[in-house]
A and B are shown apart, each in its own frame.
Chain A
Amino acid sequence: MDLIALLPFDLPHPALLAAGMLEGTVLAAVLALTALGLSIVFGIMRVVNVAHGEFYMLGAVLAWFVTHTVSGTVGGPPWLGFAIALIVAPLIVAAMAALTDWLVLKRLDYDPEATIVATIGVLYIIQQLALTFYGPDARPVEAPFDFRVQLPWFGYSGYKLVVVGAAIALMLVVWLVLTRTKIGLVMRATQYDRETAQAFGIPVDKVYAGVFALGAALAAIGAVLIVPIQQAHYLMGGDPLLLSFIVVILGGLGSLKGTLVAAIFIGLSDGIISTLYEPTLAKILATLLVAMVLVFRPQGLFGARAA
């Protein structure tokens, strides 16, 4: 019996499958970076940042402003504007996140439920401010360079491969900072026991503000990297938020390794499924999977039991 004929869908052409996997890899890389930000914030602060997707959007919008100013007003080359955006946008976003922490989250004493409601409010504020000053249009950002890598079946944008490399390098840096430096040690001490850390002279307030800023900055970097591929739009934060949630929960709340594994898994499957089949269906299955994981296996699919 021909089993392939029984499948409810057509098997794709290998070239299409390869294209889907490459798209998926790009998506997975940026998603891993964004989700890592959410995961660090939850892991260390126990704060579920619903506004995370808006920090991502803000990164993309700021990247547009910077590149637009550099190439339009000053007349610089595209790579210069992009390089500046890659530094300036995450810094501004980080500053805004630290401000949010200081103005809102700290005052709520990081109560888990109150901070969720508050970050929902922050989500609307950032999103609507972006609408106010950036407007409702989607705008493209030019890629910093333009070369194609010729693969056996098709040409491929070299920029996308650089995005993957940059994301991997950044995650490596974050991992090294968290596990091999004094700053990382202080962060982990705060995560392990906030009050004892305070008693040992660790400035917990500053650590929290720094962690929240770092989480937001990671989302912003992911957005700057992706914005030459997608366009910057004030509503673009919804999808990365949902996907980051899925990744962080499947990977195990607060587990960094789990987050990475889940990001690769979700990014790749989303890339493949979205390229070849119906993206909505994939999202329905993923959200239901997340709900079921939280109900029946709260420590996540890949991660160890969360602290």
Chain B
Amino acid sequence: MIRTIVLHAAVIAGLFLLEPVLSDYHHGNLARIMVLATYAVGYNMLFGYTGLLSLGHAMFFAAGMYGCAMLIRLAEWSVGPAFLAGVLCALVAGIIVGTLALRTIGVGFMIVTLMFAEAAYLVILYYNEFTRGDEGFTIPQAVRSIAGIDLSDTTNRYFAALLLFAIALIACAAIVQARTGRVLVAIRENEDRVRMLGFDPFRYKLFALVISATMAGAAGAAYAVLFGYAGATFASVQYSIFPLLWVLLGGPGTTLGPLLGTVLMFYLVDYASGTIMPGLAALVETQFGIEAPGLASAYLLLVGVTLVLLVLFAPKGLLGTVRARMIPWLP
């Protein structure tokens, strides 16, 4: 228990201390990573701990993002209330989708969540008069402040992202250490036995899904406020696959796996699209004379390869493997 608290405190303190050291480039990246990692922490609550694989979490991220950004843009709400409203949108979406989708299991659950998310994405495109569809819209710098603190300022933005991530991480760690979390893991391992022991799995699964959706929504709303942009891409299937990828890479069912997975994948994709793929394209064309017109922009290839390799060879992810081989107490 003590070492769990120390470990999480150390990670949060480490992120805090990194702030003044980082170059501008990594500074911006890490702020973005912490917001996305919050999304991944939420995804992990459902997938890693409860064993429910959703293919539609982008709808919760987008519910938070649009719930917040549309109120700022169209109703001219200030950031604070708009953020809370965004989180509330995701929470309500979680209750509705959860109540329906949790009637199914396994593959059915995956497809139902995928279909709900697809419908949500298409709704955003359909009402492009208000949402500006794929193109999206920006939130002007002037309104992006809360209680006099300018959130578009890079330092403030970093600490706001850290605060959000720390809350999600602590909430996740607290839940999974508590009795509720043990029931969630038990449902993942054997739902029938949990039911036999007198628990109602549906209530626990709905709880996990709503918490997960709320965290995803908070991340979406924070993204809109901190980076000043909302767009339909964030509601697309791709943004449902990303948290799955990050959690699978970092380690499903570990508290710190989502952060690790997000950091690694973010920098891998960033490095690939900036350096590896263009370099590879140049090499292939000059050295081998093969025409590869799109190689430079095919960085998503890495996403596919990573997913397949993880599923085949490391389904426990990095921290899950570390826990199994070296540090059994890892939360």
Contact = CB atoms under 8 A, between A and B. Distances in A.
The answer to whether A binds B is yes
Interface of A: 48, 104, 107-108, 112-114, 116-118, 120-136, 234, 242, 245, 249, 278, 280-281, 283-284, 287-288, 290-292, 294-296, 298
Interface residues of B, number: 44
Contact of B115 (A118, A124, A291): A291
B101 A245 contact: no
Contact of A120 (B108, B307, B309): B307
A294 B112 contact: yes
6 contacts: A121-B306, A130-B294, A280-B125, A284-B122, A287-B116, A294-B111
Contact of B312 (A107, A126, A290): A107
A125 B300 CA distance: 8
Given A116-B110, A133-B292, A128 B301 contact: yes
Nearest to A249: B111
B271 interface: no
Contacts of A125: 301, 304-305, 308
Which of A112, A118, A128, A278 neighbours the largest number of chain B CB atoms within 10 Å of its CB?
A128
Contact of B107 (A112, A120, A288): A112
A63 B295 CA distance: 21
A120 B111 CA distance: 13
B324 interface: no
A118 B111 contact: no
Contacts of B306: 121
B300 A127 contact: yes
Interface string B290-331: 111111011111011111110110010000000000000000
Given A117-B244, A136-B293, A128 B116 contact: no
Given A114-B315, A124-B307, A131 B297 contact: yes
Given A116-B107, A136-B293, A294-B104, 7 more contacts: A117-B244, A118-B311, A121-B308, A131-B297, A287-B122, A295-B112, A298-B108
A129 B308 CA distance: 15
Nearest to B305: A125
A242 B108 contact: no
A289 B193 CA distance: 33
B320 to A, nearest CB: 15
A22 to B, nearest CB: 26
Contact of B307 (A121, A136, A298): A121
Contacts of B308: 104, 118, 121-122, 125
B103 interface: yes
Given A112-B107, A136-B293, A291 B53 contact: no
Contacts of A281: 126
Given A104-B308, A114-B315, A133 B300 contact: no
Contacts of B100: 291-292, 295
A218 to B, nearest CB: 20
B241 interface: yes
Contacts of B297: 131, 136
A129 B101 contact: no
